[in-house]
Amino acid sequence: MATKHLITITDFCVYHHVEDTFIHSLHEAGLVTITEVDKQTFIPESELQKLEKMIRLHNELEINVAGIEAITHLLQRVELLNDRLQQMNNRLVFYEHD
């Protein structure tokens, strides 16, 4: 498998000054995806922004993995509700113009 769009966990952890166990804990909680290729563990580029947010929550606000999991779940719910609200507003505008 090509590793073109993958970053090694080691490189990521060195750059962000975090332990690889933290990344594995986030993976076990289902918050990030990691990939293993040739006995080396990688993070897909598509996960970087989300993972960096979680690291900031952990480092700057001292939130543990369980707290990050709760925050992530709540943010996903807010995004879903915002999408539904936008859909309802669009439908309302459609019916108001009749």
- Whole-Å CA distances, 35 to 8, 28, 52, 53, 97: 9, 13, 17, 20, 50
In this prediction, residue 4 carries a pLDDT of 77
In this prediction, residue 98 carries a pLDDT of 59
Going along the chain from its start, the domains and CATH numbers come out as 6-96 (1.10.1660.10)
**The tokens 């113009």 sit on which residue?**
97
* Tens digits of residue pLDDT in 30-49: 999 999 988 899 999 999 99
In this prediction, residue 97 carries a pLDDT of 73
Secondary structure in 3-state letters for 79-93: HHHHHHHHHHHHHHH
Question: Residues 70-81, buried b or exposed e (16+ Cβ, 10 A)?
Answer: eebeeeeeeeee
Instruction: Give pLDDT < 70 ranges for the chain.
Output: 1-3, 98
